[in-house]
């Protein structure tokens, strides 16, 4: 699980404990009744934080696409907590009554609201095909999004060595999580020149493929990475398909970090361990350590 979804869940649990403590205290000492604080500890603190953490982790995997603004998850976490804590502190001191505290209360409410709007943007559009369209293709866009918005670019991909995209299954699965930049790096294609060709295609032009030092016309994509044999340890460039075939027990590591649905993807046979980790925003070292622990245990038996 990525760091910020985990932080959302941890923060939600902390707010739950604080809400329970305050609720129990209010039942024994009615004079301490602070309904606003109690309600918001549970609503914006526990419930919303838990929903956000689980949703940020699960929904991108179920929909096979990244959130439209990954960096916004961090800002949502910061704004949500700063706004909520500020509201909880200023409200008992006259936050709803105007003056300095009233102004601060309004400011913290605005900050919390901005955080929730970021959450709406990321979670709504990760589930929707209605992601705002653009008239320009960038390297941060997924291959699937480019092909979905601009079907005419498929020929450009195929002409530049992305032959796997000729397979509809690959377009429907792997392409949803791989950005144009990552795809170019994997195939040894100059991303700047390739993006220029894609954007020319949007204008009705289909530039001919010209040989370069890194790319040649009509050459099929070469699977990068290496096979692994029994007795070997896993490295960052080991092919996941070869790894699982040689050491089936390592499959549990990928299920743990990526989810079981990951193995329905045909890309596992030709993706490197480090590539799959990057796609799921996980440090490759974490995957390698866990995989090699499983391999070492198997070799000792």
Where in the chain are the domains? 3-126, 133-221, 240-300
Average pLDDT value over all residues in the chain: 82
Return the pLDDT at 223. Answer: 47
Place of tokens 């220029």: 196
C-alpha to C-alpha distance for 259 and 269, rounded to whole angstroms: 17
C-alpha to C-alpha distance for 16 and 23, rounded to whole angstroms: 10
Return the pLDDT at 241. Answer: 83
Residue 188 zone, left/alpha/beta (φ > 0; ψ -120 to 50; rest): left
Q: Which of 70, 78, 71 is nearest to 115 (CA)?
A: 78
Lowest-pLDDT choice from 10-14, 50-54, 184-188, 267-271: 267-271
Which CATH number is 133-221's, of 1.20.58.740, 1.10.3910.10, 1.10.10.10, 3.40.50.1370? 1.10.3910.10
pLDDT(159) > 60: yes
Return the pLDDT at 211. Answer: 45
Confidence at 183, pLDDT banded by 50, 70, 90: confident
* 8 Å CB contact between 197 and 159: no
Return the pLDDT at 219. Answer: 40
The predicted-structure confidence for 230-263, as pLDDT tens digits, reads as follows 999 999 889 888 888 899 999 888 888 877 655 5
C-alpha to C-alpha distance for 66 and 51, rounded to whole angstroms: 18
Mean pLDDT of 15-24: 95
pLDDT(72) > 70: yes
C-alpha to C-alpha distance for 118 and 105, rounded to whole angstroms: 20
Confidence at 114, pLDDT banded by 50, 70, 90: very high
| Maximum average pLDDT range among 26-30, 134-138, 139-143, 204-208 | 26-30
Q: What pTM did the predictor assign?
A: 0.51
Mean pLDDT of 145-155: 79
């Amino acid at each position: 699980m990525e760091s910020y979804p985990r932080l959302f869940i941890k923060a939600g649990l902390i707010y739950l404990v604080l809400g329970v403590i305050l609720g129990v205290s209010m039942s024994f000492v009615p004079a301490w009744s602070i309904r606003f604080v109690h309600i918001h500890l549970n609503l914006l603190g526990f419930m919303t934080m838990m929903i956000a953490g689980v949703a940020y982790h699960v929904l991108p995997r179920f929909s096979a696409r990244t959130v439209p603004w990954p960096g916004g998850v961090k800002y949502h976490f910061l704004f949500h907590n700063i706004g909520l804590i500020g509201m909880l502190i200023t409200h008992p001191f006259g936050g709803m009554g105007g003056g300095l505290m009233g102004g601060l209360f309004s400011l913290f409410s605005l900050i919390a609201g901005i955080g929730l709007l970021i959450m709406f943007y990321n979670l709504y559009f990760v589930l929707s095909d209605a992601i705002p369209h653009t008239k320009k293709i960038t390297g941060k866009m997924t291959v699937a999004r480019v092909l979905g918005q601009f079907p005419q670019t498929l020929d450009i991909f195929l002409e530049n060595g992305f032959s796997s995209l000729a397979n509809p299954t690959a377009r429907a699965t792997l392409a949803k999580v791989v950005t144009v930049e990552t795809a170019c790096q994997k195939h040894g294609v100059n991303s700047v020149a390739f993006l220029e060709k894609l954007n020319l295609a949007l204008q009705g032009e289909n530039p001919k493929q010209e040989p370069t030092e890194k790319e040649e016309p009509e050459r099929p994509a070469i699977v990068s990475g290496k096979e692994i044999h029994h007795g070997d340890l896993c490295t960052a460039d080991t092919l996941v398909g070869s790894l699982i075939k040689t050491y089936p027990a390592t499959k549990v590591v990928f299920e743990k970090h990526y989810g079981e649905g990951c193995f329905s993807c045909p890309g596992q046979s030709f993706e490197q361990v480090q590539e799959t980790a990057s796609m799921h925003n996980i440090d490759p070292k974490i995957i390698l350590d866990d995989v090699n622990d499983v391999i070492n245990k198997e070799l000792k038996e």
